[in-house]
Amino acid sequence: MNASQPVSRRDFLRKSACAVVGSVLAASGGAEEASELIIDIHQHCNYGGKRDAQYQQIGSARTDEELVAHQRAMKVSKTVMLPAGSPVIRPSTHTGFSNGLEGTCAGDESCMALAGAHPGEFYFGSNEVPDLEEAPATIEKYLKKGAVCIGEQKFGVECDSPQMEALYRLAAEYQAPILMHWQYGTYNYGFDRFYKMLERHPRTNFVGHAQTLWAHIDKDCKDDPKNLYPRGKITPGGWTDRYLSDYPNFFADLSADSGHNALTRDTDFIRPFLVRHQDKLIFGSDCSDKSGHDMTCTGWMTIRSVRELAASNKIERKLLCENARRVYRL
């Protein structure tokens, strides 16, 4: 930022909170060295519960207290909470199946409340079902309150629909990345033509996530709803690889089983992939466990894989911290 430019209220509050938290941790001897900081761009409140045939929650989901403990067990310094949209019955939510981000994840108010209770450690995004008329206004409401991103956009809509383009413009206006869950035949249709949106909205930072995104690091990938976690050798030149190379506004979230599968299925491919896209890959966990520190935790395993596969400490730092800091302005 140019020294002559005014600092926005949101940036001022965010940086002030970070400074206060950092000072407190340092004074208590609990601060991690800058070389070990981890930022997680993908977590959820009320995650891990189940729903019945009427989409009502049954069983207990992870509590906020358990989530905070989970993140600290992973040694995550900053976490971005991604809310669900409104629970509605319409085609874009698959008549309710996709409410709660296809689970029991909570909405904007819950994520904002958790961030408010842990300033400088937890942040929140903003989200809404994109084809609701009020979606842009709802999302903008929370962006004005300090949301650092839009998403997780996980709905059955065309990626180049007018409703989605309205959100892309909003993301550019607020300099907030938009995180999209790509899953063939289910969420965000049209990954093969998404390059048109990257070209049409060059000021919007797009963060891709989920099965279709990571399957398509492989040029020989065949879209198959039954094989969302492909194994085996990877042929270079897939759509995801090309989008990351060709478009400065496209990034990829390493989270969930899909991200970890991509990291581990062909390490001969992935090591140079991490070098090639070292400025475009961002750590996220998106795991619903309560441990945060063993093989039951996808986030912990992803951190371990990044450390094993990154060609240098500099690249590791970019993937686990610096890229998130830059793209999300944390």
Residue 118 DSSP class = S
pLDDT digits (tens, 9 = 90+) for 52-99: 877 778 778 999 999 999 999 999 999 999 999 999 999 999 999 999
pTM for this structure?
Answer: 0.89
Burial class for 202, CB neighbours closer than 10 Å (0-12, 13-18, 19+): exposed
- Mean pLDDT of the chain, nearest integer: 91
Is pLDDT at 32 greater than 60 in this prediction?
no
Q: Which residue would you say has higher pLDDT here, 15 or 309? A: 309
pLDDT surpassing 50 at residue 171:
yes
Contacts 24+ apart (CB under 8 A), 269-272: 269/217, 269/233, 269/234, 269/236, 270/234, 270/309, 271/309, 271/311
Residue-wise pLDDT for 255-303, tens only, equals 999 999 999 999 999 999 999 999 999 999 999 999 999 999 999 999 9
The CATH code for residues 36-327 is 3.20.20.140
The 8-class DSSP code of residue 318 comes to I
Contact (CB, 8 A) for 120 and 145: no
Tens digit of pLDDT for each residue in 187-241?
999 999 999 999 999 999 999 999 999 999 999 998 887 888 999 999 999 999 9
Q: So where are the chain's domains?
A: 36-327
